[in-house]
Amino acid sequence: MTGNPKLIDKLFSALPPKESRALSTVVSLADDSDVRVFLVGGPVRDLLLGLAPTDLDVSVEGDAIAFATRLAEATDGRLVRHATFGTATVSAGWRIDLATARTETYSRPGVLPKVQPSTIDADLLRRDFTINALALALNGPAPGKLLDPTRGKDDLDAGLVRVIHDRSFQDDATRILRAARYETRFGFRLEEATQDLVHRDLPYLVTITGVRLRHDIERTFEEGRADQAVSRLRGLGVLSTVHSGLDWTPAQAKALRVLKPPLPAGSRPVAWAILAWETPSAQIEPLVKRLALTKAQAEAVRSVPFLRDLRARLNNDLRPSEVDRLLSSFPLNAVLALSVIEDTPASRWARLYLKLRSIHPLLRGDDLQSLRVPRGPAVGEMLALLRAAKLDGEAKTRADEERLVREYLAQNSE
């Protein structure tokens, strides 16, 4: 066997210094332990595409957890073990995921697989797509050797997403969502037979738990072209299969695009509200339950029907303080969704409201008491009145606010 030192050099030069040093330690430990290690899957795919690997996934022919323990000791890294699957993660300002080379068997569609230690060759054949069934030998007799048993490099060159075997989507139907992400991320297309399998196996999405489906849809939101990825899910029939109330219109796609994906975790409730924007009111709660939405996500989605109904009231005749009162009862994520979903008076008011939230009176509680506003609820009421006046442009200075307080006290003392 012969390796390809240039591919190894390309890998290390593409990595940030911390990751490069950590991976060098992996190789040194493997050599000392007479263990073969391989970079596998996505990072190899990205390297061949000329992209910098964003993850470091290492397959170990042997006990990956024991190897990861030694790596954590050598680097003072944090070790997290996952004994069921023979995997571990080591991190210390960098992160490396290590897995025992293995085979997988599925007892029934949609369940997590049972794993058994095996060789790197068998490990590659258990994977989802040919473009991920790639490994780069990091040590051993042929460092830099590319292992490609399913001709994944040919599919990379052709821009194709191809499953390795025809039961792939039945074993794990979340692979359908993953295929759509790869299509849009890389500008690829589904290989013809693979697309036929997608249509055949869409019903297997019902075997996937709500939590797993939610996580996969969230990964779609994290894509740089998230709006296109969700559009592809709709085109493939994934959205309507996941839940009959889901749809994806050009307005929704534009709204997600305005949010400028990839979306961080804190923005996901906004994306869920956008995704649920066309969902009929009666199907909102079943959608929340089917996808096991988090509390913040569920609150945003449940607000969608009420915001849709409120749009008629959010017209040009309102004052800013009235808009503030109408929208302040809704989760911020839901209002943000309204602000980008369309270009109407309602969405424009929503955008203004997001700015108004930071506006407060110059006077504070102690100031009001010095002006002889009684302690208790009256202070809160006065602050609310002052804020409304400021929003409406009726109180621009501290003197304006003091005048309004005196007028209020005079009117309520009569």
Separation CA 192–CA 127 (nearest Å): 19
| 218, 127, 202, 190 alpha-carbon torsion, rounded to 10° | 90
Separation CA 385–CA 395 (nearest Å): 10
Separation CA 364–CA 392 (nearest Å): 19
The reported pLDDT for the residue numbered 6 is 84
Strands (E), 48-151: 57-61, 78-82, 87-91, 95-100, 102-105, 114-117, 135-137, 146-147
Contact 389, 404 (CB under 8 A): yes
Residue ranges of the chain with per-residue pLDDT less than 50: 1
The reported pLDDT for the residue numbered 46 is 95
Contact 251, 298 (CB under 8 A): no
The reported pLDDT for the residue numbered 1 is 46
Nearest to 194 by CA among 146, 126, 131: 131
DSSP at 376: S
Contact 268, 291 (CB under 8 A): no
Q: Tokens 């571990």, residue?
A: 88
Tell me the pTM: 0.88
In 222-344, which ranges are continuous DSSP H helix? 226-236, 238-242, 250-258, 268-275, 284-290, 295-310, 320-327, 332-341
